[in-house]
Amino acid sequence: MPLKQDTPFKATLKASGSKVLTPISNEDLMGALKDFKKEMLTSNKALSELQDKQCRYVKKLIFSRQKVARLESNNSEELPKTVVIEALQEIFEREKCQSNLIFYGVSDLSSGIASERVAHDKLTVQNILQSLGDSVPQNPKLIRIGKARADTPRPIKAIFDNKQSAMHLLSAYNTARRSGCSFPDGFRIVSDKTNLQRKLLRECHLELVRRTNEGEPGLRILFENGLPKVGKILSKNGGPQLRIRS
């Protein structure tokens, strides 16, 4: 029986090792479709589990205690949409912040000429960080943030090409500081933070001051699953080691 021109073929091996083309039967096609369907279901299940994990993490990321109370009072049908919008915004902002660092304690030039202020900031930062050598990325974008004050220099936001450059510089700075390297009084480098991260930290600092003033000893700001909390340092047998913020 002659074969149609669009009949699919598959290659099979003869005993001699040579290949020969044979028509693909309906059973072969159905078997291939079943295998494909099975792989798709397995892939979708894995993707769904990953999305569930990300969703659980995002909820921890987004909700402070006050926000949970507010959202729980809303219509339950509106809650998922609110969570998704805030989560996406927070994830986007955090991704941007990872390529930035904040410099404190860099003298602020009071010149009315913008180009002079920019040149001053660039040169001053280079001089402060010269002991770090090759760890300092070339030509980061420096932006003063906040309103000018006579008693305190404004912080500088340093924007780098990628987050690896920012992380490498911050690590080199912390290592140098721990090893006794001298930096100007008041100078420090910290990672950039989103509005939500700063809000949660402010709340933790207020809680730390309040509980300390009430006589509770040994309190610190700790980080657990990326979220700040006020607590005590656990002993080796008392649970997992949490990252401490001074």
Predicted TM-score of the model (pTM): 0.60
d(CA 160, CA 137): 8
Least confident of 68-77, 92-101, 154-163, 186-195: 68-77
d(CA 88, CA 33): 36
Dihedrals phi, psi of 143, to nearest 5 degrees:
-130, 125
Which pLDDT score is estimated for 190? Answer: 94
d(CA 200, CA 193): 11
Cα angle: 150, vertex 193, 198; to 5 degrees: 75
Percentage of residues in the chain having pLDDT higher than 70: 60
Please indicate whether residue 34 or residue 204 has the higher confidence score (pLDDT): 204
Please indicate whether residue 187 or residue 113 has the higher confidence score (pLDDT): 187
Which pLDDT score is estimated for 34? Answer: 65
Please indicate whether residue 202 or residue 3 has the higher confidence score (pLDDT): 202
Q: What is the DSSP string of 172-197?
A: HHHHHHHTT----TT-EEEE---HHH
**pLDDT, tens only, 45-82:** 554 555 555 555 555 655 545 455 455 555 554 556 67
